Structure formats: C-alpha cells, structure tokens
C-alpha cells in the first residue's frame, strides 16, 4: 500500500463528500435526475483507493457497498412512485461499463495496479481463484465472504424490482428467452463468485428458476381465449 499521507486523506475525503452530495441530491428538491449520478460518482473514491494500492478486493467490496446503498435509496423512490426502475438500471449499467473501461486503461499507466488482478479480455479484475479453482493466497477470506454477500445483495436489488415490474404483464413465451438472456451475465458472475468450478451448471439452474418464476407471475395474453372455449 502506498503511503496514506495527508494529501491522500484530503483527496479521498473530497471524493467521499462528492458521492454523499449526489446520494442525498433529492433532498435539495431541485426536481432533477442528477441523483442517479451517485452510481458513477461512487467510482471516484474507490478507484483513488485502488490507485494508492489498497487491497483490490476490498476496493470492489467498498464499491458494491456504495452501489447497494444507492440502490436501496432509489428502490425506496420507486416504491413512492418518484423514480423509475429503468433509470436505475441504466445508470448502474453505465457505471459498471465505465468501471470496466477504467480497469483497462489505468493499469497501462500504473503497472503496479496489475497486482492481484487477472485479465478478462482487456479488463483487469480481481484474481480471486487459481486455475484449479482454489482461493488465491493473497485473498482475505473475511473480505471475500463480505464481497460475495454484497455482490449477491446488489444483484438481488436489481433483479427483484425488474421482475416485479413485469408482474401480471402480458409476456409471450418467446420473450422469456430475451429476459433470461439479460440476466445471464449477473448469474454467471454470482456462480463464479460462490462456486467457480460449477459456474455453468449453477447459471443454468438459476436460469431455470427464473423461467419458472416468469411463468408464475406473467400472463400470455391468451387467457381470455381459454375462457371463451369453456
């Protein structure tokens, strides 16, 4: 870890304050959508911590915690009919995309940031497991457990509102394929985090469960035809 001097503390504190401002932006009652920027602004403190060589898994744990806090804020807004789930997902997806781009760009200038990372295409993400799916020696098991739980919570906070948003809607069976496809990446990620040696089959299981849930909560739109035949 790089020396955590007074300058680093001030910069980190500044970034945290900026995030806090956007987190409570709705309290200013400006009737603007800049509160959603909290997802993107959360990248400032965590990537600064990464640049001064904090534990990379701890950095991502902090990022997911900030995103979970923001999601809880926004889902409360959805419950009060003040926010739209589509806007939430859009800004979160944009923040994830920006973070992936950052992982591809910053290590080129600061090679030391490649420590404890592994390349996924052009992105440098935490190297948690060995080739035999054992946990890497540098990984703190407590941080890993907290990271798994936080990542799971974050995905649940996104998936459940999306599912509830289409509850009782007319969704033809072929559309299920598109909906499930949208959830494949989150399912793959969760499967890899919890059971890397069974990522594929665990993802398949989650997809089947989602398929059943969709069957239970949506309508085909042809129920009226069945009533007429009776």
Condensed to tens digits (0 to 9), the pLDDT of residues 181-220 reads 888 999 999 999 999 999 999 999 999 999 998 888 887 6
Sign of CA dihedral 71, 88, 34, 66: positive
% of the chain at pLDDT higher than 70: 93
> Could you report the average pLDDT of every consecutive run of 10 residues in the chain (230 residues)?
76 96 91 92 96 92 96 86 84 96 90 89 92 93 96 92 80 82 91 95 94 84 54
Which residue is associated with the tokens 């997806």?
93
Torsion of CA 119, 120, 123, 129, to 10 degrees: -60
Number of neighbours of residue 24 by Cβ within 10 angstroms:
12
Model-level pTM? 0.89
Measured distance CA(25)–CA(35) in Å, rounded: 5
Helix, strand, coil tally for the chain in percent (to 5): 75, 5, 20
Sign of CA dihedral 112, 13, 40, 59: positive
Condensed to tens digits (0 to 9), the pLDDT of residues 7-35 reads 999 999 999 999 999 999 989 888 888 99
Measured distance CA(119)–CA(127) in Å, rounded: 8
Both ends of the chain: CA-CA distance in Å? 73
Measured distance CA(61)–CA(27) in Å, rounded: 27
Enumerate long-range contacts of 135-142, CB under 8 Å, 24 or more apart. Answer: 139/57, 140/55, 140/57, 140/58
DSSP 136: P
**CA nearest to 180, candidates 169, 170, 188:** 188
């Amino acid at each position: 870890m790089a020396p955590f001097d007074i300058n680093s503390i001030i910069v980190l504190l500044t970034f945290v304050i900026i995030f806090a401002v956007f987190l409570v932006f709705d309290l200013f009652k400006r009737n603007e959508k800049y509160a959603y920027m909290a997802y993107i602004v959360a990248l400032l403190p965590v990537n600064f911590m990464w640049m001064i060589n904090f534990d990379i898994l701890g950095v991502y744990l902090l990022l997911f915690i900030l995103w979970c806090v923001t999601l809880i804020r926004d889902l409360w807004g959805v419950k009060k009919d003040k926010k739209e789930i589509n806007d939430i997902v859009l800004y979160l997806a944009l923040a994830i995309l920006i973070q992936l781009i950052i992982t591809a760009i910053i290590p080129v200038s600061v090679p030391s940031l490649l420590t404890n990372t592994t390349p996924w295409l052009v992105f440098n993400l935490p190297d948690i497991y060995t080739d035999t799916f054992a946990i890497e020696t540098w990984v703190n098991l407590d941080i890993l457990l907290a990271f798994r739980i936080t990542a799971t919570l974050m995905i649940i906070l996104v998936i459940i509102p999306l599912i509830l948003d289409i509850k009782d809607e007319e969704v033809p069976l072929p559309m299920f394929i598109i909906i499930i496809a949208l959830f494949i990446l989150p399912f793959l990620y969760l499967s890899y985090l919890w059971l890397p040696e069974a990522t594929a089959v665990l993802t398949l299981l989650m997809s089947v469960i989602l398929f059943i849930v969709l069957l239970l909560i949506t309508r085909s739109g042809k129920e009226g035809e069945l009533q007429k035949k009776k």
